[in-house]
Amino acid sequence: MTDEKGNEVDAVDAAGRTTFPVVEVRTGMFGVQGTGDTSGYGGLVTTVTLPGPSERPYGGWFDEVVDVLTEVLDESGTGFANAVEAVVVDREELTLHVAREHVVEVAQALRDDPDLRFELSLGVSGVHYPNETGRELHAVYHVVSVTHGRRLRFEVAAPDGDAHIPSTTTVYPANDWHERETYDFFGIVFDGHPALARIQMPDDWPGHPQRKDYPLGGIPVEYKGATVPPPDQRRSYS
């Protein structure tokens, strides 16, 4: 992974631990290149970072959940170290970065183990980090333990060129429409989904509108006999 200036940003630290620090370096207020930015903030440089892995103790019940999940995955033969790439505690929230090939096993362990019992999924969301090479597309899952009164998220990354993640509908059936929406807007293909199809955009819609590389276009709108063209086709004032 490289930043905007071409500097390499390692995805693994010296100890071999996965890190996700820098996803983008933005310049200017609105990302306009050249002389188009008239805001006066053309020299503004913003580094967009993600929190890296946390060290123990994580605090509160986080250690207990990680310990139980480690025990369950190790006993199943999957292995916690193989299934979970990183444990991140940020802003008093627990996030597990999960390897995509093991997302169903992790979800089932979180749901079924009596000491975990994250039986409620709040859905699936997509995120696009176009400059995070090899991890451009993320699927984010929020789960709640009604039994224990706890909440965590787990996150799965996939490369843009192979945007496939196993479906979790066999564990959380309510994720059905959420996975369809994430596919519709971000292009993540959830393998094993019972009927993966667009849910809001027309079936023949080109592209996935919430990706950051999607063009800022639109649909011509008729208003009292006049046609308003899409933003990128309107008259340009100089």
At 38, the amino acid letter reads: T
What are the tens digits of pLDDT across the range 76-112? Answer: 999 999 999 999 999 999 999 999 999 999 999 999 9
Interacting residues of 4 by C-beta distance below 8 A, sequence separation 6+: 24, 25, 26, 27, 131
Instruction: Annotate the chain with three-state secondary structure.
Output: CECCCCCECCCECCCCCECCCEEEEEECCCCCCCCCCCCCCCCCEEEEECCCCCCCCCCCCHHHHHHHHHHHHHHHCCCHHHHEEEEEEECCEEEEEECHHHHHHHHHHHHHCCCCCCCEEEEEEEEECCCCCCCCEEEEEEEEECCCCEEEEEEEEECHHHCEEECCCCCCCCHHHHHHHHHHHHCCEEECCCCCCCCCCCCCCCCCCCCCCCCCCCCCEEECCEEECCHHHCCCCC
Is the N-terminal amide bond of 57 cis, ω within 30° of 0? yes
Lowest-confidence pick of 65-74, 127-136, 156-165: 127-136
The confidence band for 30, taking pLDDT boundaries of 50, 70 and 90, is low
Both tokens assigned to 104:
């169903």
Interacting residues of 25 by C-beta distance below 8 A, sequence separation 6+: 3, 4, 5, 45, 46, 47, 48
> Considering the entire predicted model, what is its pTM?
0.80
pLDDT of 4 reads 43
Q: Say yes or no to pLDDT of 3 above 50.
A: no
The confidence band for 120, taking pLDDT boundaries of 50, 70 and 90, is very high
Both tokens assigned to 170:
């066999």
Q: Say yes or no to pLDDT of 42 above 90.
A: no
Q: Domains of the chain, with CATH numbers?
A: 54-233 (3.30.460.80)
What are the tens digits of pLDDT across the range 196-207? Answer: 999 999 888 889
